[in-house]
Chain A
Amino acid sequence: QSVLTQPPSAPGTPGQSVTISCSGSSSNIGSHDVYWFQQLPGTAPKLLIYKNHQRPSGVPDRFSGSKSGTSASLAISALRSEDEADYSCAAWDVSLSVWVFGGGTKVTVL
């Protein structure tokens, strides 16, 4: 399966901002919306961003998403300790007819 590429880690201090990148190809990010999921330690994924930049009800506006070409980004501003989690990007891949996921980026609040 084709996969999306994310950095494995993104450290930050409280109050800072961190940005996580997600790189794909023309058959996934280049032609479809990007979704971001947050996985707190030992829990199921939770939809954080949908359709590139939309936030589900209840997600703070400290979380924002963007997309350009075959890459996407998730930004977390005013970092808080409860933001420590794994963040994964995902997109539908039209060539493979599967969802492809990034490997996850672990955000650590120092």
Chain B
Amino acid sequence: QVQLLQSGAEVRKPGASVKVSCKTSGYTFTDYAIQWVRQAPGQRLEWMGWITTATGDTRYSRDFQGRLTIMTDTSASTAYMELSSLRSEDTAMYYCARGVEEIVLMVDSYYYYYYMDVWGKGTTVTISS
């Protein structure tokens, strides 16, 4: 069955970086995108960005622009999320999720996005001095 296995909990100091992995199995890696969503304690889910695994194209939320990098190792069916310049507000559970493409047709063009159908169990990232 489809599985997304995330790396273990991380503790970092403010200003440092963290890299979380998401190893997939049970499907063809490049047929779906990978998205990253985080949830701070007691807060709502917050979308961070996605990567189109077939092309390596990425889209990031403006809230993380400049600090977030999503990448893949296609040979290992694994995606990574790296967040830099960490601050206390980045303390959260970080989830990867498989992305299913949705195409929205307009009058003379189209755009696409991905929805999240299968999620990893999450990785706790704690920022503490």
Residue ranges of A at the interface with B (Cβ–Cβ < 8 Å): 1, 3, 31-33, 35, 37, 43-47, 50, 56, 88, 90, 92, 94, 96-104
Query: B59 near A44 (CB under 8 angstroms)?
Result: no
Majority secondary structure of chain B interface residues (helix, strand, loop or mixed)? strand
Residues of B within 8 A of A50 (CB): 115, 117
Partner of B44, one of A44, A97, A103: A103
Instruction: Assign chain B's interface to a size class.
Output: 20 to 34
Residues of A within 8 A of B113 (CB): 32, 92, 99
Query: B117 near A47 (CB under 8 angstroms)?
Result: yes
**Contact flag A88-B44 (CB < 8 Å), given A45-B119, A47-B116:** yes
Interface residues of B in 61-108 (CB under 8 A from A): 61-63, 95, 97, 102, 104
Query: B117 near A88 (CB under 8 angstroms)?
Result: no
**Contact flag A101-B45 (CB < 8 Å), given A35-B115, A47-B118, A92-B113:** yes
**Contact flag A45-B45 (CB < 8 Å), given A35-B115, A35-B116, A50-B115:** yes
* B23 contacts partner chain A, Cβ-Cβ < 8 Å: no
